[in-house]
Structure 1
Amino acid sequence: MVDERLNRAFAQDVVRLRQAGVLPVVVHGGGPQIDAQLARFGMRPSFAAGLRVTTPEVMEVVRMVLAGQVQRQVVGLLNEYGPFAVGLTGEDAWTMTATKRYAEVDGERVELGLVGDVSGADPSALHALLRDGRIPVVSPIARSEDGLTYNVNADAGAAALAVALRAQLLVVLTDVAGLFADWPSTEKVVDRITADELERLLPTLSGGMIPKMEGCLRAVRSGVPVAHVLDGRAPHALFDHAFGDTAVGTRVVP
Structure 2
Amino acid sequence: MSGLVVLKLGGRVAADAVRDALARIGGPVVVVHGAGPQITDEMTRRGIEPVFVRGRRVTTPQVLEVVQASFEAVNREVCAAIGPAAQSLRGEEIGLRARRVPALGLVGEPEPCAPAAIRESLEACRVPVVSPLAEGPLNVNADEAAAALAVGLGAGRILFVSDVPGVLVEGALARVLPADEAEAALDAGAFEGGIVPKLVAAVRAARGGVQATIGATEVPA
Once the two structures are superposed, residues 37-91 of structure 1 have per-residue CA deviations (whole angstroms, 9 ceiling, x without a partner) of 112222121112111111111011101110x211011111111xxx210111211
Question: Residue 99 of structure 2 corresponds to which residue in structure 1?
Answer: 99
Q: State the Cα distance separating 1:191 from its structure 2 match.
A: 0.6
Classify the secondary structure of the residue corresponding to 1:129: helix
Q: State the Cα distance separating 1:17 from its structure 2 match.
A: 4.3
Which amino acid in structure 1 is aligned with residue 28 of structure 2? Answer: L
Percentage of identical aligned residues? 38
Q: State the Cα distance separating 1:9 from its structure 2 match.
A: 2.0
Q: Is the 8 A contact 1:178 1:229 kept in 2?
A: yes
Q: Please, what is the CA RMSD of the aligned residues? A: 1.7
Q: 1:137 aligns with which of 110, 126, 129?
A: 129
Distance 1:136 1:17, change over 3 A: farther
Classify the secondary structure of the residue corresponding to 1:58: helix
Q: State the Cα distance separating 1:120 from its structure 2 match.
A: 4.1
Off by >4 Å, runs of 4+ in structure 1: none
Stretches of structure 2 lacking an aligned partner (at least 5 in a row): 1-9
Aligned length, in residue pairs? 210
Distance 1:196 1:113, change over 3 A: same
1:211 aligns with 2:197: yes
Could you state the TM-score of these two structures normalised by the residue count of structure 2?
Answer: 0.88
Q: 1:16 aligns with which of 23, 46, 63?
A: 23
Distance 1:167 1:58, change over 3 A: same
Classify the secondary structure of the residue corresponding to 2:14: helix
1:189 aligns with 2:194: no
- Structure with the bigger RCO (C-alpha within 8 Å, sep 6+) is 2
Could you state the TM-score of these two structures normalised by the residue count of structure 1?
Answer: 0.78
Q: Is the 8 A contact 2:11 2:74 kept in 1?
A: no
Inter-partner Cα distance in structure 2 for 1:165 and 1:122: 5
Q: Is the 8 A contact 1:121 1:160 kept in 2?
A: yes
Q: State the Cα distance separating 1:23 from its structure 2 match.
A: 0.7
Q: Is the 8 A contact 2:86 2:128 kept in 1?
A: yes
Question: Residue 76 of structure 1 corresponds to which residue in structure 2?
Answer: 80
Question: Residue 5 of structure 2 corresponds to which residue in structure 1?
Answer: none
